[in-house]
Amino acid sequence: MDIGYARVSTTKQDLGRQLAALEAVGIPREQIHVDKKSGATTARPGLAAALTHARAGDVIVVHTLDRLGRTVRDTLNMIHELDQRGVGVRNLADPIRVDSSNPADPMSQLAVVMLALFGQMERTYAVERAAHARIVAAAAGKRTGRPSVVDPDTLEHAVLLRDNGATMAEIAAKTKLTRSTLYRHLPPRPATASQGASIVRSKVDLR
């Protein structure tokens, strides 16, 4: 049995084009599940219903593959998981036609392989963009990653303990902060007189 799935990102968008395409290939309206939610939203009741109702030998049919997953990798993972259940996936309007329900068709298998390659490229580019963004932010003196959730009073206590000679292990035990958090958030130790003298001597030696 073919099970249709259609999705638009907002309630203001129209499902008509996708529904018409699915009905045109013989899928009755009662077998088409719909969502009006962004692909980034994990809670999609229409998709969940389609996946729940699908049995071995059934095929999930979509207008385009981006209706299924937020990224190529998401879609590819879903195709793989459905394949393990004996459920196929077929698209109608993408330039690359996929029909994982027909393993004897070499072009369908090639399409899945191409999707895997695109998924890997997508992941590689995302990692490179994130790394570049961190480098640019660090050069501009900006912090990256999640905002700090360390309580200022706790951090102040940690600074006081350190300045009084406590080790990192002792500070971690008393503040309940991990060592990695302490290393990340503790400000540098103020230079001591002996350290300052050492720096001056080094500068003199270099002249």
- In total, the chain counts a number of residues equal to 207
Q: Is 207 exposed, middle or buried (0-12, 13-18, 19+ CB in 10 A)?
A: exposed
Structure-token pair, residue 141: 């003196």
Q: Is there a catalytic annotation at residue 38? A: no
Catalytic residue among 9, 38, 148, 198: 9
Q: Do the beta carbons of residue 51 and residue 84 sit within 8 Å?
A: no
Q: Which residues are paired to 89 by β-bridges?
A: 60
Q: Do the beta carbons of residue 162 and residue 189 sit within 8 Å?
A: yes
Beta carbons within 10 angstroms of residue 36's beta carbon? 16
Q: Which residue numbers are catalytic? A: 9
